[in-house]
Amino acid sequence: MNISLKRSSVIENGFGVGISLYEDGICIAYPGLKSKPTPKVEFFSVQGEKSQTRMLRKIVSKHKLHSIPATVVMNHTNYNLLQVPTPQVNKDEIDAALRWQIKDLVDIDVENSIIRSYPMPGQGNITSPLIFVVIADRSAIKNITEMVYDAGLNIKSVTSVELGLRSLLKAIEDIKVPTMLLAIFPHKTVFIHMVNGVLYRTRELNYGATHLPGSGSWSEDESWPERLVTEVGRFIIFCARHCDGGSAQRLLVTSTVSSSPDLVEALAEETELVVEELSHGLIDVRCLPALGVAYEGMEQ
């Protein structure tokens, strides 16, 4: 699900650079001291493309990040990740066929979008296999890459939130058993199901931390925690039925969840799993995908 930009890569200190761009700020993960086993992660509250470019340029210069390959994690608003039936066409015609197949499923202008497809693992021997499809707004990707280039970074690819989280789990968690991660962002909630470091299934909900009771947001919804718990239970059951690896044996959550005892108790009761906080869980959840792709630099 990466959009490769085919730039040269030079890894220093074992890590790459990960960047997540939001309307209200920038998260960047980058190599720290050689003695440190993890990248350094910072969030900068800065708005506007010009201001964010200036901030990135300062960071790149201060920490000498010019030669280190960077991966940008797309904002949820810039792409859709779908799981659809694989078109019955030749392999080299799949992406073109998908363009027509998904045009009524997304709000993005398909004709002016970038489409990438990837096999979905763990389906067994079925007659109509599914496929992962990423459809990204071409103009948004162009703006992102130009902004990061202008800041002096050696950008090598643009990727999705889901793949950033996958890379994070591979790097910091023992996920030899089927594992589910529940990550609550300000305006979105993401589920991912992994087996042996491979992303098997994903789910996205258009509710997030701002909808939780007590968030102080105008969009608080008293029914959201109960619906969230139900959706988590359904997702686990679905993956148990449709993934070769079987049902999740671990349920990892971000700090938004672990800081709510009532929500943790409800999830544990619904899933019959111990609810565990993700390592690095105290980091701003918006920075977790960027941290994941910075770790991924170790593998290039």
In whole angstroms, what is the distance from residue 119 CA to residue 127 CA?
15
Burial of 85 (0-12, 13-18, 19+ CB in 10 A): exposed
- What domains are there in the chain, each with its CATH number? 3-75+140-162+292-299 (3.30.420), 78-137 (3.30.1490), 174-278 (3.30.420.40)
**Average pLDDT of the residues of the chain:** 85
pLDDT tens column, 76-113: 888 888 888 888 888 778 878 888 888 888 877 788 88
Q: How confident is residue 160, by pLDDT bands cut at 50, 70 and 90?
A: very high
For residue 9, the model assigns a pLDDT of: 35
For residue 133, the model assigns a pLDDT of: 87
In whole angstroms, what is the distance from residue 28 CA to residue 187 CA?
20
Greatest extent of the chain over all pairs of C-alpha atoms, in Å? 55
Q: How confident is residue 127, by pLDDT bands cut at 50, 70 and 90?
A: low
Q: Dihedrals φ, ψ of 291, to 5°?
A: -65, -40
86 in Cβ contact with 104 (< 8 Å): no
pTM of structure: 0.88
For residue 281, the model assigns a pLDDT of: 60
- 97 vs 83, 107, 132, CA distance in Å? 14, 18, 14
Pairing of strands 17-22, 69-73: parallel
DSSP 3-state of 80: strand
Annotate 88-141 with DSSP letters as a single string.
Answer: SS-GGGHHHHHHHHSTTT-SS-GGGEEEEEEEPP---S-SS-EEEEEEEEHHHH
